Amino acid sequence: MRTLLLEPFAGISGDMLLGALVDIGVSIELLREQVEALGLGDRVELTASKVNRSGITATKVDVLVDGEKEEPGIPPSGHNHHTTLLSIVERLEVSTLDREIADRAGEVFRRLADAEARVHGGDPEKVHFHEVGALDAIVDVVCGVAAVASLGVERVISTPPADGHGEVESAHGILPVPVPATTFILEGVPGRRIDVPFEMVTPTGAALLVTLADAIRTGISFVTERTGYGAGTRQIEGRPNVLRASIGELIDPPGKPGDEITILETTVDDAIPEVWPHLVERLLAEGARDAWLTPVIMKKGRPGINLTVLSDHDRVPVLEQLIFAETGTLGIRFTTAGRRVLTRQRGTLETRFGPLQVKLSRLSDDEPWSVHPEYEICRVVAAERGLSLQDVYEEIHRAAGEDGELTAE
């Protein structure tokens, strides 16, 4: 599947995205056509030039409004007029832009408006944009959407964006980095902080990334066809201030990308044996993904138990308190791990015992479901009918193998 891969290892902004896409082969004339379609040809000029950022040659696209361009760290002035979401949507509707491009650009600005409304309060449609409401940002958004569409890729994937720290001057005064609007837009998106005392991810860049990317994740295997670099305005000592864009094929291993989990481990040699089944049951009841016990030989030849627990990050505090309370251990080890999981869900299979609930899994949407018996369900059926557990398992496998009626929930 032909894919556009974005790598915002030094952040992302509207002009960095445009630069990377022009560098990878999008015509600057195509972008100028979008400016004309917006009815801004008499005020906005687009230029593209080659620049060097810490040893990397990249394309810098500048949006000049009334002959001026926005500089980082300088508060809005002149062409950075205030406007509302409604006025931006109206401009998109009356433009001669392709409708799909206009609609996608509208999605970007709705994200921006929602974020600004959360920061400052009020109705998103009436929020007054400052930096993001400037004509140059409108051009960044529309041209960014049009440039991606022109590549003819089937999906867009991104690695987690990196942002800096410190403060930035805005129309509302001094704001922390990342700025509040950016943090709201990127809620639920993996990201990281780097040791740069500047804003690296702008609200416009964040909104474009979240709207255009089908997925933002790590652990990507990719065969590159061609690569481009888009430059930011700042020169950062020792770090290339560029966004990398690549076109190629994404290699998908079996299954699908999972999330990240925390692995908790502790090794104990002085707990009474009755603690362990009780603790595992409590851990699962409190939201652990899984928990198991491994016998080990500890120092001085003492036998012990190694407890391993898989947990979502937000359940770690609850589970660690439970482990400390029940085992008396002096410490717990933590590891963060990525997972790759099969598509899974529950289903109902018709058997000679009647409809039974089962677990289903498959490698991809094109593959048939694999059927897995549910232990607790099988245990109850075996007890009610005076059968062995093995008899019930075999019946489920027989029904599944003979294409018994299966309903996925």
Distances (CA, A) of 408 to 48, 98, 206, 291, 374: 53, 40, 37, 27, 14
Nearest partner of 58 among 128, 9, 3, 95, judged by Cα? 9
Residue after which a domain boundary falls, among 250, 283, 309: 250
Contact 185, 147 (CB under 8 A): no
- Count CB atoms within 10 A of the CB of residue 25: 13
The reply to whether 57 and 180 lie within a common domain is yes
Looking at residue 31, its pLDDT comes to 97
The reply to whether 392 and 326 lie within a common domain is no
The reply to whether 208 and 106 lie within a common domain is yes
In the chain, the number of structural domains is: 3
Nearest partner of 115 among 15, 201, 207, 198, judged by Cα? 207
Looking at residue 76, its pLDDT comes to 43
The string of pLDDT tens digits covering residues 132-180 is 446 888 999 999 999 999 999 999 999 999 999 988 777 667 888 899 9
The reply to whether 262 and 374 lie within a common domain is no
Contact 58, 229 (CB under 8 A): yes
The reply to whether 242 and 261 lie within a common domain is no
The reply to whether 117 and 246 lie within a common domain is yes
**What domain range includes position 231?**
2-250
The reply to whether 299 and 182 lie within a common domain is no
Residue after which a domain boundary falls, among 224, 250, 276: 250
Task: Give the least confident one: 69-83, 104-118, 134-148, 331-345.
Answer: 69-83
The string of pLDDT tens digits covering residues 299-325 is 889 999 999 999 988 899 999 999 999
How far is it, in rounded angstroms, from Cα 64 to Cα 84? Answer: 21
The reply to whether 240 and 270 lie within a common domain is no
The reply to whether 161 and 281 lie within a common domain is no
Q: Which helix (H) or strand (E) holds 349?
A: strand 343-351
Percent of the chain past pLDDT 70, that is, above it, reads 91
Residue after which a domain boundary falls, among 194, 222, 250: 250
Contact 185, 118 (CB under 8 A): no
The reply to whether 123 and 35 lie within a common domain is yes
How far is it, in rounded angstroms, from Cα 26 to Cα 30? Answer: 7
Q: How confident is the model at residue 39 (pLDDT cuts 50, 70, 90)?
A: very high
Looking at residue 82, its pLDDT comes to 55
The reply to whether 315 and 332 lie within a common domain is yes
The reply to whether 312 and 351 lie within a common domain is no
CATH of the domain at 306: 3.30.70.1380
Strands (E), 73-172: 83-84, 128-129, 155-158, 162-163, 167-170
CATH of the domain at 394: 3.10.20
Q: How confident is the model at residue 88 (pLDDT cuts 50, 70, 90)?
A: confident
pTM of the model: 0.65
Q: Pinpoint the alpha helices (H) of 355-388.
A: 375-385
CA 68-120-131 angle, 5° bins? 10
Would you state the structure tokens that stand for residue 389, as one six-digit string? 């557990």
Task: Give the least confident one: 192-206, 216-230, 250-264, 351-365.
Answer: 250-264
